Chain A
Amino acid sequence: MIENYDIVIGLEIHAELSTKTKIYCGCKNEFGLEVNTVCCPICLGMPGALPSLNKTVVDYAIKMGYALNCSINSVSKQDRKNYYYPDLPKAYQITQDEVPLCYDGHVDISVDGIQKRIGVTRIHIEEDAGKLIHDDSFSGTLVDFNRCGVPLIEIVSEPDMRSSKEAKSYLETIKVILSYMGISDCKMQEGSLRCDVNVSVMKKGSTEYGTRCEMKNISTFSGAVKGIEYEARRQVDILESGGTIIQQTRRWDDDKGKNFLLREKKNADDYRYFREPDIGKIVVTEEKLLDIKTSIPELPNKKVLRYIKDFKLSEKESTLIVESVERSFLFESVLNIGDVNPKLVSNWILGDILGYLNEKSILLDETKITPQKLFDLINCIESNIISTSSGKIVLIDIFETEKTVDQIILERSLKQNSDIDDLKSVVINILKANEKSVIDYNNGKTNALGFVIGQCMKETKGKGNPAVLKELVLKLIKKD
């Protein structure tokens, strides 16, 4: 049945900004501290306390606005959204209603190699709420206010996505851009990137959107995919059995793989927005806008194209490198050190380096690798100082120790033997001991060559330069 429908998806992404302090007070903006230790009268909503808007929050939001091709409102304001919840100390959230900082942008995503443009309706700034801690070991709910006042930007998309794949790609694209801007940690497991999803379905070929439902509490990419698919199926099932969709807010439960009704949209959602009287109008000068615009680094989609063009990487390779800020930084830094084949750097990063990280499930910046060490490693292999297989041993030490590549090679005596006289005697001995292979080779069984070279490598304990050995074997194996 679902094949007969188009799914229409819009996303509201909340990203916590990585400023030093909270949005309206000087409390430290840091995750994972002991409960209720980074709070003050302002973020606790104590009587008489007033907000002081953080300059960096405004800058970061505009930066993201430019990255998503938005127009910027040089004069904007803040509004109060009034609702009661134990994690919201003032019983209103300071946000932006009518006039957001950024509006009317777009971003290009790619699904299965096909580009698609997704509209960005708006980006606005607001404060995060605290955390409720539920536990069966006590009768009530505990409130930790540390997260109150952590700065957020909310990025609202147009309903331009038509599949969970597109939604996932959009989410990934936004995440990578946020990372390159250096304005958010984007740690989904810490809740610094969350999203609400709006889903509706319509019969294929129809141009009229169906009634949408909003799904809250999505905090993983896979959750977004599963949630959208679940919700679309739920709606199609209702329609196919003759029902109608009622506008609702639903809550995604990642563990159960289901969503549940939170509330039906009616006047329950009367937030009574009005201008925040404690904060004057936010004015951004032309000069400031220009400053921010010029501070924007190369964006990931441009980077991918540049890697393909300048470094002759495949699209897949460049995408894989660019999707992580750390990888891309390592890649470009190695190239900046000196003359090295970009393809080799890419192979190392996407091959053994990524393999190691995946195996240990750690991040690049949790290891001790540096661009200089990777550069040296590749150089040693290229100039035949060590073999490729020794290189893999060196890499482990690069990850885990502070030692230089030279030190590692020395300590592990991995230096390759390229001395012709040395190796010649090895080859002569091996050929003598393997007469049958020599005969086979001369009778046209060329695969005997590999066996002989292998024996030579074994004899040199892996340190014989394979290229030199091969050359010697070829020269000496022939019977006239």
Chain B
Amino acid sequence: MDLFKKSGTELSFMLRSKECSAREIVSSIYSRIDSVEEKLGSYVTLTRNMADKKADIVDKKIASGEIISPLAGIPVGVKDNILVKDVRNTCSSKMLENFVAPYNSTVVEKMLDQDCLIIGKLNMDEFAMGSSTETSYFKDTKNPHNLDCVPGGSSGGSASSVAGYQATVSLGSDTGGSVRQPASYCGIVGLKPTYSSVSRYGLVSFASSLDQIGPMGRTVKDVHLLYSAISGYDKKDRTTVDISNIPTDISELKNLSGIKVGIPSEYYLTDKNTDVIKSIESFIKFLEKSGAEIKQVSLPNTKYSIPVYYILSSAEASSNLARFDGVKYGYRASDYTNFQDMYKKTRTEGFGEEVKTRIMLGTYVLSSGYYDAYYNRAQSMKKMMKQDFDRVFEECDIIVTPTTTTTAFNLGEKINAHMDMYTSDISTAAANITGIPAISIPSGRDSKGLPIGVQIMGKHFSEKLLFDVANFYEKSIDGFDLKIKI
């Protein structure tokens, strides 16, 4: 029985009906990891002991007739910037190569309360800065659909592990598209929740005002299940809000009548003949056929998302990553003459080039004399972008765009062509800047057989509608095309 191939909802049902045990699920997942990890490189650290212990607890609960929670016994992979107590947390950086988490992040605490099986910590771009997982200090991660291609990033390991059946669901983090873009490249589902709906306590901060932890899975229902488990007010992250009154359960829609879909012209300026645009257009046609009302809308300030994203995220990152100084934890350089020298050597040696570039960019935009020209201007633009979206959401319920304008590229192809790399967040960053939820689901493949993703955005806290529409589509096509070559 290939338990690793099952979805979370299937496994949960099998556990309850005693068709399998949690121990069997663990064994199946790790034997899958054993056979493909060398090729995929999804994981930085495996936590088999922890998963085994949890599986025993689940099996005991089932044996004693106890009601288990929806995620009990489900294998979850966790991005290596989300703290799991007593497990190494590297952020894929030399700086934290040997850092052992002293506490659990809130999302992990919540998952453990539900008796999830934490399988391991997933590879990522260093400190979540990158779009291909190539900035990881440890290794490259490969796209399960084509081992020559990147899985996307920064949550590359989170996407490749799920697409490659090394985890049933996973957690990523999304600052400018880091959940949705890899989900799109790897042909799975990824959600960037509304800012403030999921606690960031225990997520190593990149850009505090943009970061959100997001669930990833092979089905909409699995992503929904994980989202329901991790979201909600947390007194340890006081930027979260109480959403207990907002319904999130998926409704099985019969059609999409009454749903107004905005198509923003600004996102379709690229060559209209690409496989991606064709795929999105057929998705829009599907929505229309199903009864949705399609409207052309305009988000004029969207074109500024990339500069705004880079200013805000780099500025916050320069401050958030200042604590990595070799004093309290993490890497410390070995030869130095005084404490400033120790700081500088530690940081120069401990951080990779991408991270250093962004720290310096952030320092620059905050430094005296430049603050107004860059940081303050970006803050004002952020307000204007919010107004754009507010206006569009007065006449639409959801907005549909491609998640990425292209499909997964080859390893090494773009790491040096920095501009391409930096603009690959173009469709996704606006949701982080404005704080709205956005989901990426597979909508087809390009001529090379690589997955294409469609992004559905909604108003603040409208996750339920995004799930409903995505789930309706998934069911209508009899499930996503999840075939991989390994």
Contact = CB atoms under 8 A, between A and B. Distances in A.
Instruction: Say whether chain A's binding surface is mostly helix, strand, loop, or mixed.
Output: loop
Given A45-B328, A274-B316, 10 more contacts: A46-B103, A82-B318, A90-B323, A270-B368, A272-B318, A272-B371, A274-B315, A274-B366, A277-B239, A278-B239
A143 interface: yes
A50 interface: yes
Interface residues of A, number: 30
Interface of A: 41, 44-53, 80, 82, 84, 86, 89-92, 141, 143, 267, 270, 272-274, 277-280
B234 to A, nearest CB: 9
A89 B323 contact: yes
Contacts of B202: 48-49
Contact of A44 (B82, B235, B316, B328): B328
Nearest to B105: A48
Contacts of A84: 322, 325, 340, 343
Interface in B178-207: 200-205, 207
B298 interface: no
Interface string B86-117: 00010100001001001101000000000000
18 contacts: A41-B102, A46-B102, A46-B328, A47-B323, A47-B329, A48-B105, A48-B200, A49-B202, A51-B238, A80-B319, A89-B327, A91-B325, A267-B367, A272-B366, A274-B315, A274-B319, A280-B238, A280-B239
B68 to A, nearest CB: 29
Interface in B212-255: 235-239
Contacts of A47: 83, 89, 91, 96, 99, 204-205, 323, 329
Contacts of A90: 322-323
A86 B339 contact: yes
Contacts of A279: 238-239
Contacts of A92: 319, 322
B361 to A, nearest CB: 13
B319 A50 contact: no
Given A272-B366, A279-B238, A49 B328 contact: no
Contacts of A53: 238
Contacts of A51: 238
Contacts of A272: 318-319, 363, 366-368, 371
B235 to A, nearest CB: 7
- Give the 10 A-B CB pairs with smallest separation, nearest first: A91-B322, A272-B366, A277-B208, A277-B209, A47-B204, A48-B202, A45-B323, A90-B323, A270-B368, A48-B204
A270 B371 CA distance: 11
B235 A82 contact: no
A67 to B, nearest CB: 28
B165 interface: no
Contacts of A278: 205, 208, 237-239
Contacts of B96: 47
Contacts of A91: 319, 322-323, 325
A48 to B, nearest CB: 4
A80 B327 CA distance: 20
B375 interface: yes
Contacts of A277: 207-209, 239, 316
A80 B323 CA distance: 13
B238 A82 contact: no
B322 A82 contact: yes
Interface in B312-335: 315-316, 318-319, 322-323, 325, 327-329
A154 to B, nearest CB: 21
Nearest to B322: A91
Nearest to A40: B103
Nearest to B364: A272
A272 B102 CA distance: 30
Given A86-B327, A277-B208, A278-B239, A50 B200 contact: yes
Contacts of A143: 327
B319 A52 contact: no
